[in-house]
Every structure is written in structure tokens, then in C-alpha cells.
A and B are shown apart, each in its own frame.
Chain A
Amino acid sequence: GNSVTQMEGPVTLSEEAFLTINCTYTATGYPSLFWYVQYPGEGLQLLLKATKADDKGSNKGFEATYRKETTSFHLEKGSVQVSDSAVYFCALSDRVGAQKLVFGQGTRLTINP
């Protein structure tokens, strides 16, 4: 079945540092790929998405590129802020049927001032 593997956390960085959170996936067919963010006490919010190979999703300074050859969708940000502290989830969705989301285990990110 489909699965997502994320870089284990927690990750702690200083403000303005460069961020990479690794994500690889296993899927049949051509899934859509997502990064969701969960701030403390809140529900999941879609951060960015990519629906086909070589697409780059971007939002709020975060970027991720759909790499079919390496089955990866790594999340990057050039300069993190304290407000980026949250739990980040990589996920995929089949393009047919229920379009259920399959999530990785999450990576807790803490940014220190």
C-alpha cells in the first residue's frame, strides 16, 4: 500500500537558519503530494501541494519539489522564524476513489530566537 516516511524529529533550529525536512513516499500510480502544518492546539492546515512530477509547491517561504525519480518531496525554507514552530506532516493522496490522505509520522520543529 501507499506510505510516507518523514525525517524523524524533533528538529531545533535558530531563527534565520535554513530548514530541510525530508520526505519520501511509496505509491502505485501518480499520487498528489502535500505538506500540512499543525500549530499547537489547532487543526491541520495545508501548507503546499504538488500534483505531478517536477511541480514545485510553495507558500509562506516554504518550497517542495515533487521528485518522481527519487520518490521524494522534501520541505525547505531559506530563513525560518520563531512563528514557524509547529509539527509538519508530509502526505500523499491517490487521484482516484476517496482521495484519502496518507500521512507521515510528523516532524516537530522548534525555532529558537
Chain B
Amino acid sequence: ETGVTQSPTHLIKTRGQQVTLRCSSQSGHNTVSWYQQALGQGPQFIFQYYREEENGRGNFPPRFSGLQFPNYSSELNVNALELDDSALYLCASSGGGAALYNEQFFGPGTRLTVL
């Protein structure tokens, strides 16, 4: 069983640029959540996709957007990058079923540096 994978591992961009981060969910999972983890902080929820539809969003501006594809992989897009966007971006996949709680399995993350 393949776990959650993310690409790229590291990325360096300059302020004002746009970036796309990718996530492949674990086999059998239909839900993907994205989190931003600033240095020394806990992860913060950006948004979640369930069966290709956005299913909840945290307190992030509209320049953070996402997609989920029919194979349940996902992209996170960030436009007009700011210095404060420098962080580790984590993707988590889960079963999305009707269970009391669907455990979220995390990928290793993409480290984004904005200069």
C-alpha cells in the first residue's frame, strides 16, 4: 500500500510568483486536506477536498486555491506569494466515510521558501 506522497520536496520562489504543490493520496482514500506549518508552529488547516469538491476551508485568503482530480490526487496553488507563505505544506488523505473519525495520513510535506 502506497502512502501519501508530495512533490516537490523543496521549492524556492520569489515574492509575487505563483506556485503549485502536488499530493497523491493513499490508495482507497477520497479526501485530501492541506495544512500550512510555519517554522516552530503547529499545522494550520487550509482546506479539504472530498470527491473533487471543496469541503471546508480555514482562515486563508482566496489566493490559496486547490483542486482534486478524479483519482483523488490534489494540488494546492498559491498566487502572489508573500514572504509569510514560507512554510512546510502538508497534505493528508483520509477515507472520507461516515465513521466517527477518519484518520488523516500525512505526507512528508513540501518546504516552500519565498525570497
Binding site for B on A (CB under 8 A): 4, 6, 32, 36, 41-46, 49, 51, 89, 91, 93, 95, 97-106
Q: Which residues of A contact B100 (CB under 8 A)?
A: 32, 51, 95
Give the chain B neighbours of A102 by CB distance below 8 A.
Answer: 45
Tally B residues with Cβ within 8 Å of A: 27
Closest to A107 in B: B42
Q: Does B65 contact A (CB under 8 A)?
A: no
A90 (CB) vs chain B CBs: closest residue: B42
| Bound Cα distance from A89 to B92, whole angstroms | 15
> Contacts A43-B107, A44-B106, A49-B101 hold; do A106 and B42 have CB atoms under 8 A apart?
yes
Beyond A43-B4, A106-B40, is A101–B56 a contact (Cβ under 8 Å)?
no
Q: Which A residues are CB-close (under 8 A) to B102? A: 99
Query: Which residue of chain B has its CB nearest to the CB of A97?
Result: B56
A98 to B96, CA, bound (A): 9
Give the complex CA separation of A36 and B107 in angstroms.
13
In the complex, what residue of chain B is closest to A102 when comparing beta carbons?
A: B45
| C-alpha gap A51/B100 in the complex (Å) | 8
1/0 per position for B8-41, CB-CB distance to A under 8 A?
0000000000000000000000000101000011
| Minimum C-beta distance from A74 to chain B (A) | 17
Given A95-B101, A105-B41, A105-B42, answer yes or no on A100-B106 (Cβ-Cβ < 8 Å): no
Could you tell me which residues of chain B, from 65 to 115, have a CB within 8 Å of some CB in chain A?
90, 92, 94, 100-109
Residues of A near B108 (CB, < 8 A) are: 41-43
Whole-angstrom distance from the CB of A27 to the nearest CB of chain B?
Answer: 14
Q: Considering only CB atoms, which chain A residue lies closest to B55 in the complex?
A: A98
CB distance from A64 to the nearest CB of B (A): 15
In the complex, besides A97-B56, A101-B45, A104-B42, 5 extra interface pairs with C-beta distance below 8 angstroms are A42-B108, A43-B4, A44-B43, A91-B42, A106-B40
Determine if B106 and A98 form an interchain contact, defined as CB atoms under 8 angstroms apart: no
**In the bound complex, CA of A42 to CA of B42 (Å):** 14
